[in-house]
Amino acid sequence: MKKITLKISAFLMLTMFALQVQGQIVSGQLVYIKNVATGEYLKGPNTDTYEMGVYTGGDDFKFYLVESGSYWNIDSENRGIMRGVGSTRTTVHTTKAPPAGDVDKVWTAVSLGSDTYQFYLRDNGAMLMQWNSSDGALKLLKDDAGTDTSAHWVLETSEPVLSNEKFDTSSIFISNPVNNILDIKGLTASVNKVSVYSLLGNVVLTQSLQGESAISLNVSGLASGMYIVKLQGENGSFSKKIVKQ
């Protein structure tokens, strides 16, 4: 009898926890979904696959979590809800509108605190939504007891900004506009990586740093247009738009 009582108590506690987690997300509210491992944002372009990139604005970065019973649809502004394919551990960007109850299109949201979540596919409760940097694709990761931050997602309800206030940019100079050489000066020891992105959020150039205070990047191979330079370091990141002439 005592064991039964303990089991019932544990079940009630888990149920209350699940309800609390679900209550933290507002159904239909616009969110920007940031991956903890990369610090970049999920993109839902009008194609079959998802992308990840530095925030550049636009509808590609807009998502809505819509309640479907006790689960959630992950809906993109451009196309439709997300489908998880358990057999291949992949995701597909569908054209289906929410709410939908299909078991391969609904997700359980588990809170990790600080607006950070893991998303488990209902069709296979041990599969987590994960950004696979090696493949450059949004995939399904077998449950790892919550240790892999590539499967941790921050839901931001305010539009992201291009700079991080924790990142000291007071000494940094980035040449703009540029022709063939992009000069960056005044770097501190905390900056460990410089990347250049297209406005679609794709990396077109990257370089790791080891304490350099200034670098010159050859951008002669880039087409004329606007790009985003992103500096990454221990305390955050900073991004600035530049024009390649």
CATH number of the domain bearing residue 217? 2.60.40.1220
Give the residue-averaged pLDDT of 161-182.
78
Whether residue 200 lies inside any domain: the answer is yes
Specify if 166 maps to a domain.
Answer: no
pLDDT of residue 146: 66
Q: What is the pLDDT of residue 184?
A: 95
Spatial distance between the Cα atoms of 121 and 137, rounded to a whole number of angstroms: 17
Domain containing 26: what range?
2-156
Same domain for 131 and 211? no
CB 50 within 8 A of CB 93: yes
- Which of residues 122 and 233 earns the better pLDDT score? 122
In this predicted structure, what is the pLDDT of residue 14?
A: 39
Q: What is the pLDDT averaged over residues 134-140?
A: 91
Average pLDDT, the chain: 85
148 and 39 fall within a common domain: yes
Predicted local distance difference test score (pLDDT) of residue 143: 74
Can you give the pLDDT at residue 1?
44
Q: Are residues 10 and 77 in the same domain?
A: yes
CA distance 69 to 91: 21
Residues 120 and 230 in one domain: no
Task: Provide the whole-model pTM.
Answer: 0.63
- The enclosing domain of 64 has a CATH number of 2.80.10.50
Q: DSSP alpha helices (H): ranges in 189-231? A: none
- What is the SS3 assignment for 19? helix
How far is residue 228's CA from residue 195's CA, in Å, rounded to a whole number?
8
Average pLDDT rounded to a whole number, residues 191-211: 87
pLDDT at 230 over 80: yes
Counting the structural domains of the chain, the total is 2
| Res 77: pLDDT | 94
Q: Tell me the C-alpha distance between 31 and 100, whole Å.
A: 19
Render the burial of 133-146: b for 16+ CB within 10 Å, e for the rest: eeeebbbbbeeeee
Average pLDDT over residues 17-29: 63
Q: What is the pLDDT at residue 9?
A: 44
Domain match, 184 and 136 both: no
pLDDT bucket at 10, cuts 50 / 70 / 90: very low
Each residue's pLDDT tens digit, 82-132: 999 989 999 999 999 999 999 999 999 999 988 999 999 998 878 999 999
Residue 128 CA to residue 108 CA, distance in Å, equals 9
- Whether 40 is covered by a domain: the verdict is yes
Rounded average pLDDT over 169-193: 90
Residue 6 pLDDT = 42
pLDDT digits (tens, 9 = 90+) for 58-84: 899 999 999 999 999 999 999 999 999
Establish if 7 belongs to a structural domain: yes
